[in-house]
Amino acid sequence: MSERENLLDRLLVARFRRICRRNSGFGSGLAGYAGAMDQVRQIAAAGDERRRAIIDADLRDLFSRPVLAVLRPVARRWPDGLARVVVRLMPAGFRWLVGPIAVRDATTIKIPRCRFLAEGGADACLRVCRTPTASFFAEQVGLRAELRPDLTAGSCTIRFGTSAVSR
């Protein structure tokens, strides 16, 4: 276990790996987060249609259908309120995947050094994270999300809600 990972992080990475394997069939002989990134790179290399289906299934399974069923009506009625809640939950809920997350304002987070980008590479960032995550939030949650990775700096800014503008 690295100094960055606690027991909960390791359990969440293991859950992520099981979800990815179940939905894609891709496994890895590598342990822990390195194995997860190996699986992510395999997903990134899949054809567009297959990749999209795998990622959609992975994200639905990560968030779980009951959670999505609650989020959709809230997003329709109070998108900016839900955006504020999502921003507050992201630092604790996704540190295991992307590393430390800073809240910039009520609807924006900043990942100063995205672990997913650093260890997965630009292809994984763009093909498995940025576009699919924005689409997932829009289509499955009903909440706009704009992900703006800086591939040079290795950081990412994410804005949620009506203030998020797709580019």
Residue 147 is predicted with a pLDDT of 96
In a domain, 2, yes or no: no
In a domain, 167, yes or no: no
In a domain, 166, yes or no: no
In a domain, 56, yes or no: yes
Task: Print the domain residue range for 149.
Answer: 7-160
Percent of the chain residues topping a pLDDT of 70: 95
Collect all residues with Cβ–Cβ distance below 8 Å to 38 and sequence separation of at least 6.
Answer: 28, 30
In a domain, 92, yes or no: yes
Task: Name the domain count of the chain.
Answer: 1
Task: Tell me which of 67 and 151 has the higher pLDDT.
Answer: 151
Instruction: Render pLDDT for 95-106 as a digit per residue (tens, 0 to 9).
Output: 999 999 999 999
Helix (H, G, I), strand (E, B) or coil at 166: coil
Residue 167 is predicted with a pLDDT of 42
Instruction: Render pLDDT for 5-63 as a digit per residue (tens, 0 to 9).
Output: 789 999 999 999 999 999 999 999 999 999 999 999 999 999 999 999 999 999 999 98
In a domain, 165, yes or no: no
Residue 5 is predicted with a pLDDT of 77
Does position 74 have pLDDT exceeding 50, yes or no?
yes
Assess contact for 165 and 148: CB atoms under 8 A: no
In a domain, 127, yes or no: yes
Dist. CA 111–CA 94, nearest whole Å? 10
H or E element at residue 124: helix 122-124
For the chain, give the mean pLDDT: 92
Q: What is the DSSP letter of 58?
A: H
